Amino acid sequence: MTKTIFRNIFIVGILVLAICSLLFFGLQYRRTINETYSALSQETSYAITGLKVSGKDFLEGLDDINRVTWIDKDGNVLYDSEYDNMKVNQSSYAEVRKAFESGEGQEKRKSNSSGKQTMYYAKLLDDGTVLRLSRPVEAVINALIIISPVLWVFVLVLIVSGILAFRAAKQIVTPINNIDLDSNVNAPYPELEPLIEKIEEQKLTIQEEAGQREAIRREFSANVSRELRNPITSIAGYAEQLAADGVSADKVTGLSKDIYKESRRLVSLIDDIIKLSRLDEAADLPPKKDVDLHEILLRVEDSLKPVAGKNNVFIEVKGEEAHINGVDELLYEMVYNLCDNAIKYNYPGGKAIMQTLTDETAIKLIVEDTGIGIPPEHQKRVFERFYSVDGSHSKEIGGTGLGLSIVKHGAMYHDAEVSMESTPGKGTKITISFPRI
């Protein structure tokens, strides 16, 4: 944080210094240009006076840093201090044309003779000729170099700014780094009070969430232990009876079937716990791809037809192709659990209807039954792990209490929303709304 603050302060300092430097040298350059034109004007007046008194000999005797050119009424060169026999007509040049028109003219342009950027000043004489003095712009730049010591002042200012920026950054950050969030915090700066209050609120929220997670973890562990213990206890009891002497053949067959049933229940429970763990950690899941929900409904229908026939429940599939971005294996498990519940908690002769619907905002998977329904006081909790509306009935039909929890977590993994409508004695309707691809 110290480096960031130092860097930002130092960059601001450099920018301010650079802007000031540009303004200073820009103004100084413009000022020097204006002063040079003024000097050329004054020197031209002196040269005109000498020309009137001594004629061309005065110009030839000048030892001046400026180039002197004398031009007749037609633009021809009568004299040039740097070039003999200058044949180029000068009347087309702006400063000469302005001198003929208004008595004087000035211009800054590239010289055709020297190829250098040059400043020109021309003035009209009483006899109609024009006297022009010129000076290269580089002479002006050389004049600016005279003030180069100012640059060293800027460098010194930059160094001092860097030192001050570092000290300021350190002084700002030190009180912040010394804040102890585990105790009552007083903001070192008034501007930080809203931040400290927000941190305190978040700390309390995190502590509450951690406590809730711990409570959920303990409840889950207790539920898992209980649910695993029940079938294992049953299996141990049946096995103990088998080990006893004098057990009839019919009794052996019945106990073997009970052991097999409890074993299957135990395997299903472990499978569901593993599935939930994978969903919690989003681990070992295949990558999402384009999946047709309607095709999954048809597969689930084929898988559960024997169970539905045994329970005298009719399965119906409605809708058409509905493609989403998802995990085929997980979606199949979700639909299977919903339809399996619709069959198990139904009345003989009832229906389990699966369908897909598509609108502008979502693709919906709906599983509806005509079964026993869920009382209102239980509807908010049926998606919790191991929650059962009627424990004895759930055990009787072989439920693990994790099916709807898998549905809920699977929907979350697919960024989908789950909703439920249920009326005791009339049936239940569960809708999963998936975002469109």
What's the CATH number for 2-145? 3.30.450.20
List the single range of 54-68, 121-135, 193-207, 303-317 with lowest mean pLDDT: 193-207
433 contacts: CB under 8 Å, gap ≥ 6? 362, 363, 364, 416, 417, 419
pLDDT per position as a tens digit, 197-224: 777 778 778 878 777 767 766 766 666 6
pLDDT attached to residue 393:
43
pLDDT attached to residue 35:
82
pLDDT attached to residue 5:
64
Give how far Cα 32 sits from Cα of 109, 118, 119, 150, Å: 17, 14, 12, 16
pTM for the whole thing? 0.49
260 contacts: CB under 8 Å, gap ≥ 6? none
Q: Does domain 289-435 have CATH number 3.30.565.10?
A: yes
Q: What's the chain's Rg over C-alpha atoms? A: 48
pLDDT per position as a tens digit, 46-73: 888 888 888 888 887 777 778 888 889 9
Structure tokens at 411: 């929907």
**Beta bridge pairs of residue 434:** 363
Picking from 272, 275, 297, 437, the residue whose alpha carbon sits closest to that of residue 367 is: 297
Alpha-carbon span 316 to 273, nearest angstrom: 30
List the single range of 98-112, 277-291, 388-402 with lowest mean pLDDT: 388-402
pLDDT attached to residue 140:
66
Q: Where are the domains of the chain?
A: 2-145, 180-284, 289-435
Q: What is the 3-state secondary structure (H, E, C) of the chain?
A: CHHHHHHHHHHHHHHHHHHHHHHHHHHHHHHHHHHHHHHHHHHHHHHHHHHHHHCHHHHHCCCCCCEEEEECCCCCEEEECCCCCCCCCCCCCHHHHHHHHHCEEEEEEECCCCCCEEEEEEEECCCCCEEEEEEEHHHHHHHHHCCCHHHHHHHHHHHHHHHHHHHHHHHHHHHHHCCCCCCCCCCCCHHHHHHHHHHHHHHHHHHHHHHHHHHHHHHHHHHHHHHHHHHHHHHHHHHHHHHCCCCCHHHHHHHHHHHHHHHHHHHHHHHHHHHHHHHHHCCCCCCCEEEEHHHHHHHHHHHHHHHHHHCCCEEEEECCCCEEEECHHHHHHHHHHHHHHHHHCCCCCCEEEEEEEECCCEEEEEEEECCCCCCHHHHCCCCCCCCCCCHHHHHHHCCCCCHHHHHHHHHHHCCCEEEEEEECCCEEEEEEEEECC
Give me the mean pLDDT over the 215-236 stretch. Answer: 70
pLDDT attached to residue 417:
92
Among all chains, which residue has been given the structure tokens 């697919």? Answer: 414
- The 10 Å Cβ neighbour count of residue 202 is 10
pLDDT per position as a tens digit, 245-275: 667 777 778 878 878 777 877 777 777 677 7
What's the CATH number for 180-284? 1.10.287.130
pLDDT attached to residue 178:
65
Instruction: With beta carbons less than 8 A apart as the criterion, state whether 296 and 335 touch.
Output: yes
List the single range of 62-76, 220-234, 290-304 with lowest mean pLDDT: 220-234
**By percentage, how much of the chain surpasses pLDDT 90?**
23
Structure tokens at 321: 């192709």
Sign of CA dihedral 96, 97, 100, 104: negative
